[in-house]
Chain A
């Protein structure tokens, strides 16, 4: 049953999202070409034979920069639209008239929730991959066109190499970072679903908007906790062990796992309880 539910959910979200995904990929391609154009126009302006040519070049440059910015905004908008689509599907299938069919299917409430989580995470991952690859493509184009290596210098800046390589340290850091990465993908989807469920239980109108508001409120609090926790953990580990790449990185990941893992578990359990016991379709 879970497989069937997942199929319907995934396809229902995909009905519109495939089109937006193709548009986002096209926007990334256009952004790459546009940047190339911006560079060429820059050269043209630098060697403009007359004021008239320079004015034309500046106008073209402004149009190209605007197009480039629009493309990047479009890719970000794609991510936002994707999240809204996942939320709307969840809300409409559970809390509008569709809920009368959904909740009378011969399946457990938890199975219904699992199908939504799986389809939500799948789409969240697809959106993430498309957005990241789009920006990587744009960044690579910028680096290739300009011939600058500053992008790689920036990434080098954030990669702190350990003074001595430890196999156990590498394994622990790898494991904790992988787990925290997986949790980072699942947690926002579960938290968003919980917020919409809560909004649907307590409010009669504008439930999706209230749900999104709740989500951002909880996220602001957790972000503040993460920042404070990062500083505190770094201080404690440095104080006790001196600076050690492995201990510092692993401690940070464990902190993320504990914080976001707790939110993930609470979101899942509370959502399941509410759907099972407090559902009230209007």
Chain B
């Protein structure tokens, strides 16, 4: 399967410090990849670069063979770590919004998922709890038939029951050819679904590989390996 993402010597410098420092990586299609690292390691910056929200200071980045822009945004489904809704909008308005702008959005699938979650379509965003907003956002993002899903801390702010639902939603709603990049520092909750992992620290990739290899060859869970690598 061809590579969905290719980064060469990717660097992002903010005013004073480098958030990403000369990163090179290749991500194949059809995989679930964990982008793992402690807080402030550069995970969100990398995801924002892939989503096209930031411009790299130097280096090259290709998504599905294109530099981030209009074409890549049509194939990337991005879940940021915070809700991005207009509070005055109803859920059904958001569905129409996604339907209007994303050709790959499956409205029926979204409505079914919202029905399963007992979330009314006519509810206004401002009336929803934080957890419900996160669920609605996840439903919208996972209802697209995207080639690449970018999920930035999808389980950070929700209770364990919601985490389970989110993981199930991710697993049951992505196509076999699609790739999912999940950024988190809560490894225990997601490690069973990961095919590959990338450990990132202070803007550099410190280790990357196959999740099963770690389990079989090193007889360790990713969580154990994470604790070893990022020991304070």
Of the residues B48, B70, B82, contact of A106 by C-beta under 8 Å: B70
Interface hub of B14, B53, B71, B78 (most chain A Cβ within 10 A): B53
Contact: B82 with A104, CB < 8 Å? no
Given A276-B55, A281-B53, the answer on whether A104 and B83 have CB atoms closer than 8 Å is no
Cβ contacts under 8 Å, A279 to chain B: 53-55
> How far is it, in angstroms, between the C-alpha of A107 and the C-alpha of B100 when the chains are bound?
12
Size of chain A's interface in residues, with CB distance under 8 A?
A: 23
Cβ contacts under 8 Å, A99 to chain B: 53, 84
Cβ contacts under 8 Å, B85 to chain A: 98, 101
CB under 8 Å from chain A, chain B span 67-95:
69-71, 73-74, 76, 78, 80, 82-86, 88
Cβ contacts under 8 Å, B86 to chain A: 12, 92, 98
Given A106-B102, A107-B70, A107-B101, the answer on whether A280 and B54 have CB atoms closer than 8 Å is yes
Given A106-B101, A107-B70, the answer on whether A100 and B84 have CB atoms closer than 8 Å is yes
> How far is it, in angstroms, between the C-alpha of A48 and the C-alpha of B53 when the chains are bound?
73
> How far is it, in angstroms, between the C-alpha of A281 and the C-alpha of B73 when the chains are bound?
17
Of the residues B52, B69, B84, contact of A101 by C-beta under 8 Å: B84
Contact: A105 with B78, CB < 8 Å? no
Contact: A105 with B73, CB < 8 Å? yes
> How far is it, in angstroms, between the C-alpha of A1 and the C-alpha of B51 when the chains are bound?
19
> How far is it, in angstroms, between the C-alpha of A90 and the C-alpha of B123 when the chains are bound?
25
How far, in Å, is A188 (CB) from chain B's closest CB? 25
Chain B interface size, as a band, is: 20 to 34
> How far is it, in angstroms, between the C-alpha of A278 and the C-alpha of B56 when the chains are bound?
10
Q: Look across to chain A and name the residue whose beta carbon is closest to the beta carbon of B137.
A: A101
A12-24 Cβ-contact flags toward B at 8 Å (1 or 0): 1001000000000
In the assembled complex, A97 has its CB within 8 A of some CB on chain B: yes
Cβ contacts under 8 Å, A97 to chain B: 80, 82-84
Cβ contacts under 8 Å, B76 to chain A: 104
CB under 8 Å from chain B, chain A span 75-132:
92, 97-101, 103-108
Given A98-B86, A276-B55, A279-B53, the answer on whether A4 and B80 have CB atoms closer than 8 Å is no
Cβ contacts under 8 Å, B73 to chain A: 104-107
> How far is it, in angstroms, between the C-alpha of A8 and the C-alpha of B93 when the chains are bound?
10
Q: Look across to chain B and name the residue whose beta carbon is closest to the beta carbon of A11.
A: B93
Q: Look across to chain B and name the residue whose beta carbon is closest to the beta carbon of A108.
A: B70
How far, in Å, is A240 (CB) from chain B's closest CB? 51
Q: Look across to chain B and name the residue whose beta carbon is closest to the beta carbon of A96.
A: B84
Contact: A1 with B101, CB < 8 Å? yes
List the 4 shortest-distance A-B pairs measured between CB atoms, nearest first: A106-B74, A101-B84, A100-B84, A100-B80
**A–B Cβ pairs within 8 angstroms, 10 of them:** A8-B97, A98-B84, A99-B53, A104-B52, A104-B78, A105-B73, A106-B70, A106-B71, A107-B101, A281-B53
Interface residues of B (CB under 8 A from A): 14, 48, 51-55, 69-71, 73-74, 76, 78, 80, 82-86, 88, 97, 100-102
